[in-house]
Amino acid sequence: MPIAKQTSTLTPPSQAPESGNGINILQLPNEILHIIVINLPDPLSYLRLSVVNKHFNAVISTPYTKRCFIRHWFNTYLPTSRDDFEAPSIIEYIVRYVCYHRLPPYRCRKDRTGPQIHMVPTFLPPSRVEDYVSRRLEKDPRRGHPRSCSMRWSKGDFGIENLFLKIRIGRR
């Protein structure tokens, strides 16, 4: 059969009849969405999925899902060898994400009216860093101020090497 005849007998996708057997991803139970979110390959995909719609944002923004994603991501992608010098940059990326995107950035302004930002203590175990940041966010009513500015940390401001050692010691 010629190719032209084969393609003309096919129904274009826009005109395809609905079979009724398909399922919408939003119809999946939250438990399955939770498993999908936990197994995302990188934090950027996690962030992007949170802005798709309100339902995904509700699933992703629960503290339990955040903890599970971070734990799974660390266990999957954090090198097990101390000789691998790539690990501190991974940890630095996550700490920067938590502090840069989750803290109201207007706090870094000289004319700020909110409480001062304190660096994330390196003596906290990794499981408590999320609690530390969450406590700081709950106290500030002006989160998302329209006149906000950006906050950037330079390397070594918060002892990333010490944080790496704490995580490595805690995983044993």
| Model confidence pLDDT, tens digit, residues 99-156 | 665 555 444 445 555 555 555 555 556 566 666 555 554 444 444 544 444 344 444 4
What pLDDT is stored for residue 45 in this prediction?
A: 87
8 domain residue, yes or no: no
- Between 21 and 144, where is the model more confident? 21
Domain boundary (77, 92, 116) is at 77
Claim to verify: residue 105 and residue 122 sit in the same structural domain: yes
What mean pLDDT is predicted for residues 159-170?
A: 50
| Model confidence pLDDT, tens digit, residues 43-86 | 888 888 888 889 988 888 888 988 888 888 878 877 665 555 45
41 domain residue, yes or no: yes
Claim to verify: residue 87 and residue 172 sit in the same structural domain: yes
Number of domains comprising the chain: 2
Q: State which residues form the domain around 54.
A: 28-77
Claim to verify: residue 106 and residue 92 sit in the same structural domain: yes
Claim to verify: residue 62 and residue 130 sit in the same structural domain: no
Claim to verify: residue 108 and residue 36 sit in the same structural domain: no
Structure tokens at 146: 């329209």
**What are the C-alpha distances in Å from 128 to residues 68, 125, 170?**
13, 6, 12
5 domain residue, yes or no: no
- Yes or no: say if 9 and 15 are a contact pair by the CB < 8 Å rule: no
Claim to verify: residue 37 and residue 97 sit in the same structural domain: no
